[in-house]
Structure 1
Amino acid sequence: MSANKKLVAVAALTLVSGLAHAQSQMKIYGYLETGVGSYKAAGAQSAVTKVESGNMMTSFLGFAGSEDLGGGLKAEFALETFIGVDNGATVPNQAGQFFGRASWVGLSGSLGKLALGQYDNPLFIAGLSYNPFGSSMVFSPTMRQYYNLGSTSSSRAVNLVKADTAWVNAITYETPTMGGFSGTLQYAPKESASGKDSSSYSVGLAYNAGPLSLMGTYTDAGANVNASTATAAAYPTAFKAGSLNGSYDFGFLKAFAQYTSFKYGSNSQQTVANLTSVSKANSYQLGVSAPVTASGTIMASYGQAKYKALGDDATNKIFSVGYD
């Protein structure tokens, strides 16, 4: 692609660089991972061996670009799709989108970054940043309980988060870092004339000072953050969630802790074990990671989710140990 190719950021109005000498940068990037695993489900006669992709982090391919507009302002975009290294297939997200990981355009500068389109949600960012297994949908207790991906079939395991990791139709603003503090504001208009639908918003506030890192989030999500029409119809008032997250790096060991509280609208309640109409849930995670070589780290994490219904509750527990 020509180095002078112009990038366009579309908002309520269209922004186009008028500088013929503006510098553009394009890149292709991604993450590829594959492995072999053997599994035996409870009650099964034999184990199943599989070649798999993306157990530690989902493999993906991305295309991104930026253009210097002058005065410290840049136009940017990103398109990212999940892929399966084990079979060469693209892997759609929960809504079946091809660019299911990210699809946005934006502007960034000294005042922060403004992005329009499908963009990572603050609750997801906090979830992956404060557990030793990151965004692993197989090994991270937090990710498995949030999204119930990579979990074995269980009546006591359901997705706590009633939306995907990145919100569609979103307006996202990231503040610059000031005194160790940074924030994210995300808003997704309902894009519907229906009175029962609602817009969605999510906020995140982080603080980083040397070995200490803290982040809190609050999310009020409606059906509009789910690109799937069927999913949107099922969850017209999806969920509310607040999370507190922290980590401290002692050098020889890094400790992680997370707590998230969920509340569900009447149409997004679900059945867990023998409970019906679960209206609330809480999840906890404690973890550690310790470097043992220049490139190797031992990790351990324990997560627990409690589901609350009328007069009863249920618990889902996950413990993971790994070496990366």
Structure 2
Amino acid sequence: MRVQSLAVAARAALAAGACLVAALPASAQSSLSMYGLVDMSVGSFKNPGADATKGVVSGNMTTSYFGLKGSEDLGGGLTASFAIESFMRSDTGAAGRFNGDTFWARSSWVGLSTPSLGALNIGRNTTSLFVNTLLFNAFGDSFGFSPSIRHTFTSGTVTGDTGWSDSIKYSSPKFGGLSFTAHVAAGEANGGKNGGLSALYFGGPLALGFAWQSVSKGDTVDNTKAWQLGGSYALGDAKLFAQYGNVDNDATGNGYDITGLGTSVKFGAGSLLAQWGRISPDTGAKRTTFSLGYDYFVSKRTDLYAVYMSDKLSGLSSGTSYAVGIRHRF
């Protein structure tokens, strides 16, 4: 009911915003839009050492979400903008990624930008490490099937969320294909602060990325430092991906090397996807994950997919998952 009520309110806000925009002078250009994605899959899912579960799951390929965003041209090249975005679990209708998740957990910020100076956003911002991870692997931001995402964010390596609350994030303009980000999340009497830096380069078939972050915010969150190098290269109908990174956990004294290799190959109206990844800890068991899938686009907004994943952790029974699903963007 909460999601339904919010959707009704968002539509009302959208309609009111449209009327407001129509009434503004021609010199003040404004925009307001509602958007999102719903991802549902059916299959069998098994983590290493656990029992297999069969059923309907939301957000395995891309976490389902909806949002509102808007901007206003303030003149002289200066633009004010905002975004508020909420995750949802479409299989049950529940809000958030899990019980207790912040409602606007995906994004919640307001900012200013200019073409020559870049953008400064204040609020809850997506981390640059998460962006770097999703850019340079064949399965993108899939928490269900991407070895890179699972190894970096859900395997006890990196701490902190994929979005930081109480944060300020600066994104530079592009300099011949090169851009930078810098962001910090204030501690606000909840442990230390978080900080991160990144650089991205896109030039023809080659793309490269580097991200670094330090997490110390949160009295119950382990302090960690992480960095990651990533790259991709387009070769005809194929695209090759590679990643390598390291995480140091100050609380446990353990460190983790995270490696990823993958490819996507255009095939018909879709793409064949393959991604391999490994976690190599200083102490403890290695984890090796391989995913193979096919993503077929019925239209620009709707795609169908089928995925098989093998997930192995030394000393435990193998995890094998497979699923078919649909994603729709609006």
Which TM class, normalised by the smaller chain length? 0.7 to 0.9
Which residue is equivalent to 1:226? none
More strand by share: 2
1:177 lines up with 2:177 in the alignment: no
Which residue is equivalent to 2:248? 263
Deviations 1:227-275 (A, max 9, x none): xxxxx2222x611111110000002211000011111122xx2xxxxxx
1:296 lines up with 2:293 in the alignment: no
What secondary structure, in the 3-state scheme, does the structure 1 residue paired with 2:219 have? Answer: helix
Which residue is equivalent to 1:210? 204
Which residue is equivalent to 1:159? 156
* In structure 2, distance between residues paired with 1:104 and 1:234: 25
Alignment of 1:102-121 (within 5 A): 102-110=107-115, 111-121=117-127
Deviations 1:112-134 (A, max 9, x none): 11000111111000000000000
Contact 1:122 1:204 in 2 (8 A): yes
| Cα distance change of structure 1 residues 247 and 68 upon mapping to structure 2, 3 Å threshold | same
Contact 1:92 1:99 in 2 (8 A): no
Quote the offset at 1:39 in angstroms.
3.7
Identity of aligned residues (%): 38
What secondary structure, in the 3-state scheme, does the structure 1 residue paired with 2:176 have? Answer: coil
Quote the offset at 1:142 in angstroms.
0.8
Kindly provide the amino acid, as one letter, of the partner of residue 263 in structure 1: D
Deviations 1:36-83 (A, max 9, x none): 1124677888x6421111111001010111111111111111111111
* In structure 2, distance between residues paired with 1:112 and 1:84: 34
Alignment of 1:28-177 (within 5 A): 28-39=34-45, 48-92=53-97, 96-110=101-115, 111-148=117-154, 158-177=155-174
Aligned Cα root-mean-square deviation (Å): 2.3
Tell me which of the two structures has the higher relative contact order, counting C-alpha pairs closer than 8 angstroms and 6 or more residues apart.
2
Quote the offset at 1:95 in angstroms.
6.2
- The runs of at least 4 consecutive aligned structure 1 residues that moved more than 6 Å come to 41-45
What secondary structure, in the 3-state scheme, does the structure 2 residue paired with 1:128 have? Answer: helix
* In structure 1, distance between residues paired with 2:208 and 2:225: 21
* In structure 2, distance between residues paired with 1:44 and 1:143: 20
Calculate the TM-score normalised by the size of structure 1. 0.80
Contact 1:81 1:92 in 2 (8 A): no
Calculate the TM-score normalised by the size of structure 2. 0.78
| Cα distance change of structure 1 residues 118 and 88 upon mapping to structure 2, 3 Å threshold | same
* In structure 2, distance between residues paired with 1:75 and 1:93: 32
Kindly provide the amino acid, as one letter, of the partner of residue 307 in structure 1: P
Q: How many residues in Structure 1 have an aligned counterpart in Structure 2? A: 277
Structure 1 unaligned residues grouped into runs of 5+: 7-17, 149-157, 224-231, 270-277
Structure 2 unaligned residues grouped into runs of 5+: 1-15, 296-330
